[in-house]
Every structure is written in C-alpha cells, then in structure tokens.
Amino acid sequence: MKAHDIRRQAFCMPLHSPSYPPGPYRFVDREYLIVTYRTDRAALEKVVPKPLEIVDPIVKYEFIRMPDSTGFGDYTESGQVIPVRFNGEMGGYVHAMFLDDDPPIAGGRELWGFPKKLASPALAVEHDTLYGSLDYGPVRVASGAMGYKHRAMDAQAAARALGEPGFLLKIIPHVDGTPRICELVRYQLGDVALKGAWTGPASLELHPHALAPVADLPVREVISGVHLLADLTLNLGEVVHDYLAT
C-alpha cells in the first residue's frame, strides 16, 4: 500500500477491517434510567479535571439501553456523569462507562475519549419496576431501580437535559507509553426526538470493586429518578483544552 492509500482509509483501527463505520451515529429508541444522587465533594475533587468546575456534589448514575445504533448495533451501557461548568456553560463530565459491545468501546475511546470498559450492564422492566444493574465479571457493582412510569416528566426539561454538552478526558499514549494526546473534549447530542419522559421513586446501590470503582463516589442521598426514551444523534466532538500545550 502507498502512503496516500493508507491516509485515505485510516479513520480507525484496524485498517483493513475497521471496528466501526465513520460517524455521526444515530440511535433509535435509546432508553435511560438516570438516578441522580448527592455524594462527597472531596471525592469529586479527586476525579474532575480542571478547568471543569464542580457546582454541587451531585452525580448522575445512568443505565442506558441502545437497541438500534448506527454501526454499533444493540448494546447496553452504565456509568457515572458529573454535572460541571465550563466557561459558564453547564454540562456533564463523563467519569466512568461500562458496556457489553466491542465497536462502541473502540469507537468511544478512539474518537471522543469516552472512558469505556467491558462489563455486563442491563436495563429492563421487572413487573412494576424499571431496574438497572452493572456486573463486572461475577460481581454486582451497581443496581438502580425506579417505579415504572409513575409520573410524566416535563418534556422541555428532559429535552434541555439531553441537549447539554458532555465533556471527556481523551488520552492516547505514544508508543513509549507517554501521553501523545491528552485533551478535554466537548460533544453534543443532536436531532433529539423525545418519545417519553417519566419520574418516580428511585433507589441506587453501589458496591466496591478494584477495577470498577463506581462506589468511590458514594451515595449519600438519592435526589431523583428519571426514565427517558428518545431517538438522537451522537455528534463528533471538539477539543476545548489541550493539557500537553499548557
């Protein structure tokens, strides 16, 4: 292969059998269970990178079903998003993500810098309860529950929440192990078609694990539970801070 052939084809690994197609990526019937809880500010200060600002000691624990997504297929995801402020704009810093499908793990890490790891999350309705779980190997590290569609949520408030930007710490090492890319990335969801939004009584349990340390941001008080169903597009990102240039 000549150099221009490599450059023309090189958008992800591996070159001759890419793990995912070029974006952007459309999701149909993406379903969320989001349990918002209060935690310890000191714990957040250990993990939120500057120049992001912590506003309140709040975490959003998410369980997400994605049955139909461009190039990524059918998978489930679970993790923690921390509300933050950047240059006066509110958004969410994605602290941890665990999922059960290789293409979105590879694509999420390589393109945007999503902190994705392989695990076994689930989201399903059990009788009168929407139930989410996360297993890392044989160990249950997170479980969340919410009364199924107890009350309709304000649709505009739900749409605004989905419209807030997300922030990621993208790290790609050099061949000698030193950081070659170390950036703060901003991304946005687009073309959101909200199909339903509900709230109700919610609970959340987090358990310690050496390689899935979601319990390092402990649950002090559950604030709310939200159940969302939407079609949306995950747009490509932009670099808003380069840690290697400062």
Q: Sheet holding 139-147: strands in order across? A: 120-126, 129-136, 139-147, 202-206
User: How many whole angstroms separate alpha carbon 235 and alpha carbon 220?
Assistant: 34
| Contact indicator for 31, 229 with CB cutoff of 8 Å | yes
How crowded is residue 24: how many other Cβ atoms within 10 Å of its Cβ?
11
The alpha carbon torsion through 157, 197, 149, 25 (nearest 10 deg) reads -140
Q: Could you confirm whether 116 is annotated as catalytic?
A: yes
* Catalytic entry in 46, 50, 60, 116: 116
What region does 178 belong to: left with phi over 0, alpha with psi -120 to 50, or beta? beta
At 23, list the tokens: 């974006």
User: How many whole angstroms separate alpha carbon 192 and alpha carbon 170?
Assistant: 25
How far is C-alpha 166 from the geometric centre of its chain's CA atoms?
Answer: 9
Omega of the bond prior to 67 within 30 degrees of 0, cis?
A: no
Catalytic (active-site) positions: 116
